[in-house]
Structure 1
Amino acid sequence: MDRRRYLLGLAGCTGLAGCSGLRVRSEDGAASPAGHEVATAPRQPSFDDIDLPVPERDLVRGAALGSIPAIAEPASAGDWGAVEGTLAPNDLVVGVRRDGEARAYPLSLLTRHEVVNDTLGDRPLLVTYCPLCASGVVAERTVGGEPADFSASGYLYRSDLVLYDHTTASLWSQLLATAIRGPATGMALSLLPSSLTTWSRWRGANPDTRVLLPPPASGTVTAPLDPVRAGSAGSGHVGVAEVTLDVADDRLPARELVLGVTAPDATTAYPLPAVREAGVIEDWVGNLPVVVAADPLPAAYVRVVDGSVLSFSGSVENGRIRGGGSAWSLATGEAVDGPYGGATLRRASTATPMYWFAWVEFHPGTTVYGDR
């Protein structure tokens, strides 16, 4: 069996893969796309055009080894009142909810540290951010079923952050959430839903949330080794001294923020200006019914609840959108009133909004909303 095809099969149903589809009823009686079962979850990132392990020559040195200290001993509190630094209401955070607990990770810290090794709901949590791509990815930080610590390697793959784990010294692509070199090659992390929103919106939707505190309250660790040398047999030249962007797809500006949604049979990028202009977008990505809106950045949810495809319209009001007779928090996907009160929509994206050049690098066949 071809190795790439084997890995596709291995990773395709992990985490948020949502490989199952089901026949559902539409709230307004409209039919789902002809000939398709309705999907109920996005597809896990895949290896459509990538052979593993990735050759060393495809890795680019973006930062010096040890220059990006991962947060290894995170501390959190209800706010930043007791530490030096300012966390303003409109500052952006990556928000995560798990097992009844909520936590916010300020982008100001993620931009400097790129990796946070945390525990939430008594389970290991990995929060990552690539400043070059503006991409945030949250996953369970386990390798081979055991908790593992991660750091930024200083390398880039397709202009995106490359991590390495301290257990096997394998290299991991952030956007693929997969080991691309080393002993763990082909293993995929289980992705977890997250929000990129303002601190005020996140705290308003999660009054009991805690927020990551900056160092020295949170302890950091620098990279103790070169993972390419420790986790690879080869000794070829790796990378260049500077990063250049050569984007062949000019449908959007290279640094246009987009939210990408990948269904089992299609992929769509939603540019931030188009989402803001539309207000609330009710759409289908292949056979995946989604709703997309921005406040201030775009979020996408699968608009299926209890076997019904819900209909959404209108605009964002006070951080909420309306569908099925209920108001839904755009920060969390939870219905706060009406017939679906207490229900939560599933996230339709496996990463936060990112720059166009990063999205299209990994999804060259993507559709762009508004170009159909």
Structure 2
Amino acid sequence: MRNNTNPLLFWTGIFLLFFPGLLHAYLLMPFPGSQNLEAIKLCYYLEKIILPLRIIGGLMLVWYLVKYFTKNTMRGMIVKGSVFVLLLGSLYVTDIEYKASSMFEEPKTVRFANAIENKVPESYIVLGVVNNGVAKAYPLIYLGYHHKVQDNVGTLPVLVTYCTMCRTGRVFSPMVNGARQTFRLVGARHYNAIIEDQTTGSWWYQATGEAAVGPMAGAKLNDVYYEQSTLGAWLNKHPSSLILQPDSHFRSDYDDLKNYDRKQPVDKDSTLKNKDSLVRKSWLVGVIINKQPKGYNWRKLEKVRLLNDQVGTTPLLIALENDSLTFHAWNRRIDGKDLSFKIDTAGQLTDKETASVWDWDGLCTAGTEKGKRLTKVQAYQEYRHSWLHFHPTTLFWEGELKMLSYLP
């Protein structure tokens, strides 16, 4: 008479112990096909039940081992034992190797230096924040690995973030319901970093600061204005700025991002003959004015360097500095009149109406408008596919000054 080995108990225990964790890791990492699925709610609730399911699955396997394992044939014991051992290795994959907080650790030391003691090359790109006369610069090469730095600029709490998968930075207030939060990196959805606040456990998209799921779903973190610039250009405007220094524990991780801020993917694609072609990872500068998003082709901006544009009723100036890496967006309306700008032969910003000279911080330094300042507009650099996903109604400037079209 054949012994009852109760295989359903074994395979159910295997499923509960391993499959939820594998699915969770697949959906929260950029594996083929995973990021295109609308699965953030599944990921969120899956994370809540993984541990209970593992406990149930583990108990089922222990019961199976005690009650039924020895009733298997030798071949059956080898097959089941091999499956268990192989899948046991998946716990390392799901809980360590592909766990976002393990792959991209928090800085162990957050240290700043002034321009004299600074060790960061001035050619590096930074996110710069100013508050009440205190300026701080956060190099992308460090932010890109850590994904976030939780800090203060003067008395202002800030959450400085950067996602290399969508190539964009954001700075937020870490205050939720009046309390400062500590955030952890969860993973990614739609190629954008997902962070979780400690108190409510809600999941927030880095690209928008919006809570996608959890008790705060639908809420939005308050934005803090920042500028993306080379460190040299930033220090020209803010010579007393403090600069985030590298954490020596992560030197090799920083090295992996060498030249990240210099070359577009199209430049590395030997099969693409027309380097001006728009692809998923083409860079753009994005703005949102009165809820209307607009994107500007980075390669075309590099060529013209300055663009007098308009979004709705707002006259806009987009400009790149001489380093072709530092960019700005300003409202070009002063005292009710719209100014049109150009870059003169000396590389200075001048307006055509009054011939006044303006610096790269938007301040008029000479001419009839001396002392007046252009209003800064928050602008972001981002991959085209990411910007379009989060801002599907985007208008797009592709190189012709009057061309407006929806991104395909």
Contact 1:279 1:294 in 2 (8 A): yes
Q: Which runs of 5+ in 1 are unaligned?
A: 1-51, 219-249
Q: How much does 1:217 deviate?
A: 9.6
1:113 is aligned to 2:146 = yes
What amino acid sits opposite 1:66 in the alignment? S
- 1:269–1:140 CA distance, 2 compared to 1 (3 A): same
Pick from 200, 203, 206: which aligns with 2:232? 200
- Write 1 or 2 for the structure with the bigger share of helix: 2
Contact 2:349 2:357 in 1 (8 A): yes
Cα deviation, 1:159-185, whole Å, max 9, x if unaligned, reads 111111122221111122111122222
Provide the rounded CA distance (Å) in 2 between the counterparts of 1:317 and 1:186. 48
Could you tell me which residue of structure 2 aligns to residue 314 of structure 1? 343
Counterpart of 1:260 in 2: which secondary structure? strand
1:359 is aligned to 2:387 = yes
Provide the rounded CA distance (Å) in 1 between the counterparts of 2:40 and 2:171. 22
Point out the structure with max Rg over C-alpha: 2
Q: How much does 1:287 deviate?
A: 2.0
1:170 is aligned to 2:156 = no
Q: Identify which of structures 1 and 2 has the higher relative contact order when contacts are C-alpha pairs closer than 8 Å and 6+ apart.
A: 1
What amino acid sits opposite 1:283 in the alignment? D
Provide the rounded CA distance (Å) in 2 between the counterparts of 1:343 and 1:56. 52
Could you tell me which residue of structure 2 aligns to residue 151 of structure 1? 184
1:180 is aligned to 2:212 = yes
Contact 1:160 1:174 in 2 (8 A): yes
Contact 2:286 2:295 in 1 (8 A): yes
Contact 1:70 1:150 in 2 (8 A): no
1:74 is aligned to 2:74 = no
Provide the rounded CA distance (Å) in 2 between the counterparts of 1:339 and 1:275. 29
Contact 1:303 1:311 in 2 (8 A): yes
Cα deviation, 1:253-311, whole Å, max 9, x if unaligned, reads 11111011222263321111111222310000122211011232332222233433322
Contact 1:105 1:212 in 2 (8 A): yes
Counterpart of 2:233 in 1: which secondary structure? helix
Provide the rounded CA distance (Å) in 2 between the counterparts of 1:273 and 1:158. 24
Counterpart of 2:299 in 1: which secondary structure? helix
Pick from 316, 320, 334: which aligns with 1:290? 316
Q: CA RMSD in A?
A: 3.1
Q: How many equivalent pairs are there?
A: 283
Q: How much does 1:205 deviate?
A: 1.1
Contact 1:293 1:316 in 2 (8 A): no
Report matched runs for 1:264-283 at 5 Å: 264=290, 266-283=292-309
Cα deviation, 1:65-95, whole Å, max 9, x if unaligned, reads 422223486321114847xxx5222111111
Q: How much does 1:53 deviate?
A: 11
What amino acid sits opposite 1:112 in the alignment? Y
Could you tell me which residue of structure 2 aligns to residue 43 of structure 1? none
**TM-score, normalised to structure 2's length?**
0.62
**TM-score, normalised to structure 1's length?**
0.68
- 1:265–1:166 CA distance, 2 compared to 1 (3 A): closer
- 1:156–1:335 CA distance, 2 compared to 1 (3 A): farther
Contact 2:109 2:247 in 1 (8 A): no
- Write 1 or 2 for the structure with the bigger share of strand: 1
Counterpart of 1:66 in 2: which secondary structure? helix
1:64 is aligned to 2:92 = no
Q: How much does 1:101 deviate?
A: 1.1
Contact 2:115 2:240 in 1 (8 A): no
Counterpart of 1:55 in 2: which secondary structure? helix
Percent of residue pairs bearing the same amino acid type: 27
